[in-house]
Each structure stands twice: as structure tokens, then as C-alpha cells.
Structure 1
């Protein structure tokens, strides 16, 4: 889900959370403590790239880490979507949901 969110454009962690909640129509509520370990793992796997912002652009508060999807992350997202589609189709057949 994080990769899909970053496909829409670069974002800092709190913005990723906001997008997930918005796209989930409020049904999905994540805590920052859940998201940041995911961001770190995705960055370590080189699926995303994080960089500290250069300028706070006149806003108050600490610098933010801005995350971007890498080419490897885009390829991985395509694969994950295919896997998810297959999973949903399989479960649908088991439950007798028409496709």
C-alpha cells in the first residue's frame, strides 16, 4: 500500500499516512509507529528512496524525510498488484463470489 501511495508522488511519512487514510475512506487507520518501520524496510530494499528535505520553506518544525518510489519499487508494485489480484480471485472462487 505504501508503494502505491508513493506512486502518486513523493511524500513525507505523515503525508503517506494521510493519503492511506484518505484513499481508504477513513476505514484504514494506521499509527506512525506502524508506518516508519515499513518505510525503513522499503528503503533498505531499495524500493523507495528517502532524502532529508533541504529547506523547511519557512515552516516551523524539524526537517522531514521525503520518500520517492524507485524504478525497482515500481517493478515490485506491478508484481505485488498481480499477486494481489490472483489472491483475491482465488479467495473469491473459494467463497463462491462471482468474478
Structure 2
């Protein structure tokens, strides 16, 4: 397994929206999903996650309801709103364009001088 990578500023919201696009989840499930899908390369601090969820809820990108976990514990379950789904599509396209541009630059062979 590779060393953990820091989550780049501005990307956490997009990653959380992607996790929630699979269905409603509580905080621990979101963290577990992100770690599992990244092969353990993108650990997310609980405090950062809950700050992101609060921020996205305030912006109307996610909605939350109280529910009961598999362990019979009370937890807030988050789901993507229509606005959140639109934001995810927009940000995913921007990220893929950005990553493609950086990849082209980094993989281009130097010109002979």
C-alpha cells in the first residue's frame, strides 16, 4: 500500500458527494467508503468530514435525517440533493479536465534542444 496522500483542498466535497451518490450514509460509512475506494491512500479526518458535511448542508448540496445504524446507534444519514448531484457532475468534469492537463504536461517528453 502506498503512503497516505493528503486530500487536496477543495476536493473533499466532491469526494463526499461521490460517496453519497451510491446512497445515503452516515459519517463513519463515508470515511470507510473513501478509504476503501482509495485503497487506503486518502484517509479523511472526522473533523474535516463533518465540517464538509455541515458546509454542504448549508449550501443545499446534501440533506440529513436521523436514523439508526446497523449497531443500533443513532446517527445522521446524509444524501445528495439535486443541487448536490449537479455540483458533482460539474466538479467531476472540471477535475478530470484539470487532471488530464496536468498529466499531459508531466508525461510529455522534453524537446531536444
Please give the TM-score of this superposition, normalised by the length of structure 1. 0.86
Equivalent in 10, 35, 50 of residue 49 of structure 2: 35
Q: Which residue of 2 aligns with 1:21?
A: 35
Deviations 1:26-79 (A, max 9, x none): 1111121111000000111101001112x56772x4x20010000111111000
Q: Distance in 1 between matches of 2:71 and 2:106?
A: 54
24-33 vs 67-76, which moves further: 24-33
Equivalent in 88, 91, 95 of residue 80 of structure 1: 91
Q: Distance in 2 between matches of 1:91 and 1:26?
A: 23
How many residues are paired up?
Answer: 95
88-97 vs 65-74, which moves further: 88-97
Q: Which residue of 2 aligns with 1:4?
A: 18
Structure 2 unaligned blocks of 5 or more = 1-14
